[in-house]
């Protein structure tokens, strides 16, 4: 298993293969696990719950924290969960706040690409237009 700092250096939306995730989740559940590892494990679980449309579970995991509070990492994750749910207005709101507080407009382009790679063509098209691309 890779060290935690390497895990945290990956893209915000990255998720490990299921077998690797299972090992990390066990480690995250152990006493004294670093907050960053707990946040990563919650993100993986929240994404899986979103794909199952288990929105109560997604909400509970998001409330517990999917990244450093107020970070771009957490904003991308929350926006992606909203995009999966079909709530593109809320995804846009989350990203707008991230851009205003700490990120640049390039975040819209990155999020557009993320939505495309996640199989969310409507979301990708919306964020392509918001990012000024046609």
The pLDDT, as a whole number, for residue 129 is 86
3-state secondary structure of 16: coil
pLDDT at 134: 59
| pLDDT at position 1 | 60
Would you say the pTM of this structure is higher than 0.85? Answer: yes
12 falls in which pLDDT band (50, 70, 90)? very high
pLDDT of residue 6: 85
Flag whether pLDDT at 2 surpasses 80: no
pLDDT in tens, 55-85: 999 999 999 999 999 899 999 999 999 999 9
CA angle 104-108-60, nearest 5°? 100
- pLDDT above 70 covers a percentage of the chain that reads 96
Q: Is the pLDDT of residue 52 over 90?
A: yes
Tell me what percent of the residues of the chain surpass a pLDDT of 90: 65
Asked if residues 114 and 102 have their Cβ atoms less than 8 Å apart, the reply is no
The pair phi, psi for residue 133, each rounded to 5°, is: -110, 150
Q: How many other C-beta atoms lie within 10 A of the C-beta of residue 74? A: 20
Which sequence spans correspond to the domains of the chain? 15-66, 68-134
pLDDT tens column, 80-123: 999 999 999 999 999 999 988 877 778 899 999 999 999 999 99
């Amino acid at each position: 298993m890779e060290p935690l700092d390497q895990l945290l250096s990956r893209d915000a939306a990255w998720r490990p293969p299921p077998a690797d995730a299972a090992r990390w989740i066990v480690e995250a559940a152990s006493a004294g696990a670093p907050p960053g590892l707990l946040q990563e494990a919650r993100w993986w679980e929240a994404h899986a719950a979103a794909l199952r449309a288990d929105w109560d579970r997604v909400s509970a995991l998001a409330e517990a924290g999917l990244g450093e509070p107020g970070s771009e990492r957490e904003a991308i994750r929350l926006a992606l969960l909203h995009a999966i749910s079909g709530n593109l207005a809320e995804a846009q709101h989350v990203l707008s706040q991230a851009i205003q507080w700490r990120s640049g407009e390039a975040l819209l382009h990155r999020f557009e690409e993320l939505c495309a790679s996640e199989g969310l063509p409507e979301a990708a098209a919306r964020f392509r237009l918001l990012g000024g691309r046609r």
